[in-house]
Amino acid sequence: MTDLEQKEEDVKEPEVSPVEEGREIGAWERLLGCTWRTPLGFLGVTLTTVSITLIVLGLIAHLSGLISNHYFAIFIFLFLPGMMMLGLGLIPLAYYFRQKKWFKDSLLNVEHLKIDLADKHHRKGIILFLVLSVINVTVLVLVAYEGYHFTDSSYFCGVVCHEVMDPEYTAYQRSPHAKVPCVSCHIGPGADWYVRAKLSGLRQVKAVIDGEFSRPIPAPVEHLRPARDTCESCHWPEKFHGKRVKEFISYTNNNQTDPNVQEVALRIGGRNPVTNDFEGIHWHVSRDIKVEYQPLDEKRTKIGTVKVTRPGGITEEYALNDEPAEEGVSQEWRTMDCIDCHNRPTHVYDDLERVVDFGLHSQKLNPEIKGIREDSIAILQIEYTSRDEATEKIVGDLLERMAKRHGADFVAEHQKELVISGSYLLEVYLNNVWPKMKVTWGTYRQHLGHQNADEGYGCFRCHDDEHKTKFGKIIRQDCNMCHDEPQ
């Protein structure tokens, strides 16, 4: 090649792509064609594409029931949407940084974007943008809807924080409210309490991650929504009336076959349809009566001053001989509601002796085997290090105790019955004891009645003949106020 031909070759125009041929490259082309080539833009495009693909596949698997693992649901409904939103945010951010020439050899200038609908390239770009936007919004709305229902499900509440909530979730699943979602009682209707619950949930998640949560979970729950907003959505005290006969069955170590049966007729109360007066137990939550009190301890087992406001605004205060409150307990007035008596309406734990007596009464523990009641109570009181250890040892421990009491031949002869009895003890143990959470027999007691009055639970917190007004009027401890003999 001659020198002249070489010079002509050097001054030739560079090749132009078909897209660029015959027109100047505009800001739109530079935006769409160059932004993703930056490291930040490429990361944004990749995150968005991968996340939305996995979300769609995950939604199909979740809705079809192919995968029901809670960690998978967290990944689909919480993690991936966050990554998708992050990716979408990085794309314009990458464009901004490139326009400001934060990246080397920027191809973008400060020219403003211009939309020309007469330009077919602009029209295609707008259509593509709208289609992608509709897809993104549709996927986000669908995953947000499913995610909302997942995070509000009882399964989410009980299984995600497994170690912390396992005791409460287990008790919930065998309770009368097992078909009532957790959020119906713990949150209730309305956006206000929903937002409060989710913000509180973030604090609880942090505590679980740090391992700084309480063991056991303290009760009563602070800042619980008033029962009138939740419980009374189904249970209406205004319509309660009449009596309910309740039967208490108990045995002793010396008498495992002949139960002591006690029946009482509880005066449920409510509005009497004849007199139109509010009476009986549910008088405390009448719409015409307001009962307030000041707790002296965190568990509300000691009650200080009680204030009763009757129709017409007449108020009476019953004080308790100036008994001081425990240190750190705020003596704010609390308005009495369902939870002050029904403090374990769903998360109900069994009483040790009652659950053994029920086993005898239902023949799950053979009452004909002498000493089985005493040995069953002793076994359930053993402090196993874990639930796994209890699962391995309880049946064997019962056989061993029976062998010491009656001999090896007796155990061999009644092995089948003893194994059935041991299996029952294991079942009730696993329903009530969690060593890692420090939940054992008596950790959570009910205020219903007065069977645990010696420990400060039940009606006698107020009905003790000691709460008095300055005029000497007392809160009576009269049995017939709440129950009598069945007729």
Pick from 332, 265, 336, 315: nearest CA to 470: 315
| Domain count across the chain | 4
Asked if 382 and 291 sit in the same domain, the reply is no
Residues 47-72: tens digit of each pLDDT: 888 888 888 888 888 777 777 777 78
3-state secondary structure of 271: strand
Same domain, 317 and 403: no
In DSSP terms, 317 is beta-bridged to 307
Structure tokens at 93: 């951010």
Q: Which of 183, 217, 251 is the last residue of a domain?
A: 217
Query: Of 133, 151, 169, which residue sits at a domain end?
Result: 151
> Mean of the pLDDT values across residues 222-244?
84
Tokens describing residue 487: 């007729």
Under 8 Å between Cβ of 470 and 424: no
Q: Is the pLDDT of residue 25 over 60?
A: no
pLDDT value of position 121:
74
Give all strands (DSSP E) within 101-197, no chain letters.
none
**Strands 243-252, 255-267: pairing kind:** antiparallel
CA 453/CA 462 separation, integer angstroms: 11
Q: Give the number of residues written for the chain.
A: 487
Answer yes or no: is pLDDT of 18 > 60.
Answer: no
Q: How far apart are CA 286 and CA 359, in angstroms?
A: 38
334 with 245, same domain: the answer is: yes
Question: Does any domain span residue 225?
Answer: no
Choice between 248 and 18, residue whose per-residue pLDDT is larger? 248
pLDDT at position 100 is 63
Check whether 117 has a pLDDT greater than 80: no
Does some domain include residue 231?
no
Q: Dihedral sign, CA of 224, 230, 232, 234? A: negative
- Do 34 and 65 fall within a single domain? yes
Give yes or no: residues 46 and 146 share one domain: yes
Task: Report yes or no on 2 lying in a domain.
Answer: no
Q: Using a pLDDT cut of 70, give the percent of the chain over it.
A: 88
Q: Has residue 473 got a pLDDT over 80? A: yes
**8 Å CB contact between 481 and 284:** no
pLDDT score of 123: 79
Residue 478 dihedral angles phi and psi, to the nearest 5°: -105, 115
The pLDDT tens digits of the residues spanning 444-468 come to: 999 988 888 888 899 999 999 999 9
CA distances from 403 to 44, 256, 408, 415 (A): 71, 19, 5, 10
User: In this structure, are 333 and 244 located in the same domain?
Assistant: yes
In a domain, residue 416? The reply is yes
The pLDDT value recorded for residue 22 is 44
**Mean pLDDT (whole number) for 196-203:** 79
Chain segment 86-102, per-residue pLDDT in tens: 988 888 887 777 666 65
Q: How confident is the model at residue 85 (pLDDT cuts 50, 70, 90)?
A: confident
Q: Are 293 and 306 in contact (CB under 8 A)?
A: yes
Mean pLDDT for 347-375 is 94
Q: Which residues contact 305 (CB under 8 A, 6 or more apart)?
A: 293, 294, 317, 318, 319, 320, 467
Q: Which structural domain range is residue 132 located in? A: 22-151
Give the whole-angstrom CA distance, residue 157 versus residue 182: 7
Cα(74)–Cα(86) distance, rounded to whole angstroms? Answer: 17
State the Cα–Cα distance between residues 401 and 131, nearest whole angstrom: 74
Same domain, 136 and 163: no
Confidence class for position 129, pLDDT limits 50, 70, 90: confident
What is the rounded CA–CA span in Å between residue 144 and residue 78?
Answer: 9
pLDDT for 164: 87
Same domain, 312 and 192: no
Where does a domain end: 151, 185, 208? 151
In a domain, 311, yes or no: yes
Torsion 309-310-313-314 (CA) sign: negative
CA distances from 370 to 365, 402, 405, 406, 429 (A): 11, 9, 9, 9, 22
Which range (61-70, 189-198, 262-271, 471-480) has the least confidence? 61-70
Q: How far apart are CA 457 and CA 443, in angstroms?
A: 12
Retrieve residue 342's tokens.
Answer: 């029904």
Task: State the pLDDT at residue 66.
Answer: 79
Same domain, 368 and 331: no
Least confident of 190-199, 429-438, 455-464: 190-199
Q: How confident is the model at residue 12 (pLDDT cuts 50, 70, 90)?
A: very low
Phi, psi dihedral angles at 443 (to 5 degrees) = -60, -45
What's the confidence (pLDDT) of residue 20?
A: 45
190: left (phi over 0), alpha (psi -120 to 50) or beta: left
Residues 319 and 451 in one domain: yes
Amino acid residing at 386: S
> Do both 273 and 373 map to the same domain?
no
Distance CA 187, CA 203 (A): 16
**Within a domain: residue 17?**
no
Q: Evaluate whether residue 62 is within a structural domain.
A: yes
In a domain, 5, yes or no: no
Averaged confidence pLDDT in the chain: 83
Are 410 and 432 in a shared domain?
yes
Better pLDDT: 470 or 25: 470
Task: Identify whether the C-beta of residue 469 lies closer than 8 Å to the C-beta of residue 317.
Answer: yes
User: Counting Cβ atoms within 10 Å, is residue 302 exposed (0-12), middle (13-18) or buried (19+)?
Assistant: middle
Question: Does the reported pTM lie above 0.85?
Answer: no
Q: Which tops the pLDDT comparison, 56 or 353?
A: 353
Q: Is the pLDDT reported for residue 434 higher than 90?
A: yes
pLDDT at 17: 42
- By CB atoms closer than 10 A (0-12, 13-18, 19+), residue 18 is exposed
